[in-house]
Chain A
Amino acid sequence: MNLWRIVFKSLRQHALSTCVTAFSIALAGGLLMSVWVVKEQSQATFTGVNEGFDAVLGARGSKLQLVLNAIFNLEASPGNLAWSDYQDIKNNPSVELAVPIAVGDNYHGFRLVGTSPELFDKTEYAPGKKFELQPGGAWFDPARRDAVVGDFVARKMNLKVGDTFHPFHGLIFNENNQHSETYVVVGILKPSNTPADRVIWIPLEGIQKMSGHDPRAATDVSAVLVKLKAGSAIAGFQMDMMYNRQGNRLTFAWPIGSVMAELFDKIGWFNRVLSLVSYLVAIVATASILAGIYSSMNERRREIAILRALGARRFNIFTAILLEAATISAIGMAAAFVVYGVIVTVVAGVMRAQTGVVIDTLQFNAVMLWAPAALIALGALAGIVPALKAYRTDVAENLTPHS
């Protein structure tokens, strides 16, 4: 029978209040850890995704829009650039690889992207990783109406090798805008956990010459994905100068990670609001420990007086209350990991469905250490007020009435 046993008994005696308070701590802790991990993971992931390219060349406009459109297959294209612009950058001695892409059609909301086979032949979307086909598939023939379907699209639309489909005009699905061309699925990509999973890849000419598209833009491209030669950082600066400062027709988004980092800088306030909300929830949950234990102090006064009469010192009682508060927090934080698991699984699922980007929710993050430690410490801190009340309990007065 030690202090822990007394604490455990008290928690059991006040089981409902213990559960409610621990649950609020679990929600607060889970929310805090989720916000932190999703924030850090999404920033790290989005600024790290570049499909193996260093830069994007596109029509004059926002670099962010260009990157979101060309790399993440989000947002509308800021416009087209001429085939000669593609040729120019392709022939630049500092450029290792330049891959044109064209957008403008969809299949039930999933974007069709026209490109050249180099995207699959020569590109590593991550170090050491090339796009691969699932068994039984083949890459598209640029001269045919073939399609290679991203893993996510294939699963969502139940597309298999040999299936055919008609694309729809525009980036937003409208059943009235169906093109007459028929495409054949020749391959399904293995999951790459990149935005490529949410795309149907077809030959560049497929988009350029799709029925109903402006024949004057039949050789235009939406953007060019650019990989610079190793050690050509200066070339990046030079091209940035050439396209963005001296020229006024095109935009050179380089480096891709920095462009995305700017996005996170812009939405930094939102992250701060989320963090603030989770801190506030943590404070409210901690306050609930204080309120829960404090409100039970009246009914506990006799119990405390009995313990004191049995020889417990004031410090023992004070410590027991602090331990009780810290234990409620600890129980809550243990449950917080379940809450965290649920939240990040849902968020990661939504993020993957919307962008194709997969965040690693199982990766260790320091918040998983400091958040529990902080909330347990806060819980113990919240126990100080009721513990002081317990400390000051008058034994004789609460044991028996004066005679």
Chain B
Amino acid sequence: MPEPLLHIRGLKKSFTTPDGGSQLIVDVPDFSLDAQIQIALAGESGSGKTTFLNLIAGILKPDAGEILLDGTDMAALAEPKRDRLRAEKIGYIFQTFNLLQGYTCLENVLLGMAFGAGVDKHFAEGLLKRVGLADRLHHRPRQLSTGQQQRVAVARALANKPKLVLADEPTGNLDQKNARESLALIREACRENGAALLIVSHDREVLAQFDQVQQLDRINQAAKTEATA
């Protein structure tokens, strides 16, 4: 049986509370995701979903546990190596898109490549054409609609041909029509690029699109504790 693309074991992350105490935010005993599979995690606010994604992306370092991404334990790596692994193997779509306002659409995608596989302007243009922005390559984010900005974020997430795309409430800032279209685009683009997709959302319409939906509070013991407390 092949190894899963992402395998998490005994993952724990706590934050210091204002009164000096420690609050466990993420406690995931076991979670895995196979290559090219698309999973949605259902989680409400406060369920630790962004922290969970940031841990997988190597933006945060866990207190304990393993995050095996394509055979490499992200949790055991020093920060520069986590940055490198993230740039090479992970695409991240944020709820607020996080596009750089001083850069054009094309430059935003190129930036996504700059710290990873290396800049490939032709491929970047192709991605933007694929998401329907062929005539918006040199527009700045503020010159685009919200839905168009989301598409730039999708193109940027795929810029390094990642094996895993993380999406944190990717439709949270979109209206219903745009949300539907955007989600379809993300799923299609991931499929075309052979990337697995891990999406977290509390939007039922989004979750309904997925065959595999898991409740975050079942995966994250800390969220369960929080909910029952």
Contacts and interface: CB of A to CB of B under 8 A. Distances in A.
Contact of A403 (B45, B96, B98, B119): B45
Contacts of B96: 400
Contacts of A309: 57, 59, 86, 92, 94, 98
B49 A310 contact: no
Nearest to B85: A311
A302 B92 CA distance: 15
Interface in A7-26: 9-10, 12-13
Interface string A370-403: 0000000000000000000000000110011111
Contacts of A314: 79-80
A1 B57 contact: no
Nearest to A400: B50
B110 interface: yes
A312 B102 contact: no
Contacts of B71: none
Contact of B102 (A1, A13, A400): A13
Interface in B54-96: 54, 57, 59-60, 79-80, 83-84, 86-88, 92, 94-96
Contacts of B160: 311
Given A1-B107, A1-B113, A9-B103, A313 B83 contact: yes
B100 interface: yes
B114 interface: yes
A399 to B, nearest CB: 7
Interface in A294-324: 302-303, 306-316
A9 B104 CA distance: 11
Given A308-B83, A396-B59, A403 B48 contact: yes
A12 B102 contact: yes
Contacts of B156: 310
Interface in B144-203: 156, 160, 168
Contacts of B47: 403
B116 A403 contact: no
A363 interface: no
Count class of interface residues, chain B: 35 or more
A2 interface: yes
Interface in B105-151: 107, 110-116, 119
Contacts of B80: 313-315
A2 B118 CA distance: 10
B119 A400 contact: no
B214 interface: no
A19 B83 CA distance: 34
B50 A311 contact: no
Contact of B100 (A306, A313, A395): A306
A9 B45 contact: no
Contacts of A396: 50-51, 54, 59-60
Interface residues of A, number: 27
The listed residue with most B CB atoms (<10 A of its CB), out of A1, A13, A311, A400, is: A311
B111 A307 contact: yes
Contact of B115 (A10, A12, A302, A310): A310
Contacts of B210: none
B164 to A, nearest CB: 14
Given A313-B80, A316-B115, A395 B102 contact: no
A400 B95 contact: yes
A352 to B, nearest CB: 49
Given A395-B59, A399-B94, A312 B15 contact: no
Given A1-B119, A310-B114, A312-B115, A400 B100 contact: no
B166 to A, nearest CB: 10
Nearest to B121: A1
B46 interface: yes
Contacts of B99: 306
Nearest to B60: A396
Contacts of A316: 115
A316 B96 CA distance: 24
- 10 nearest A-B residue pairs (beta carbon): A311-B87, A311-B115, A1-B110, A13-B102, A1-B114, A403-B50, A306-B98, A313-B83, A313-B80, A396-B54
Given A313-B83, A396-B54, A396-B60, 15 more contacts: A1-B119, A2-B119, A308-B59, A308-B83, A309-B92, A309-B94, A310-B111, A312-B114, A316-B115, A396-B50, A400-B94, A402-B25, A403-B45, A403-B48, A403-B49
Interface of B: 15, 25, 45-51, 54, 57, 59-60, 79-80, 83-84, 86-88, 92, 94-96, 98-100, 102-103, 107, 110-116, 119, 156, 160, 168
21 contacts: A1-B107, A1-B113, A1-B114, A1-B119, A6-B114, A308-B59, A309-B92, A310-B116, A311-B87, A311-B88, A311-B115, A312-B83, A312-B114, A312-B115, A314-B79, A399-B59, A399-B94, A399-B98, A400-B95, A400-B96, A401-B50
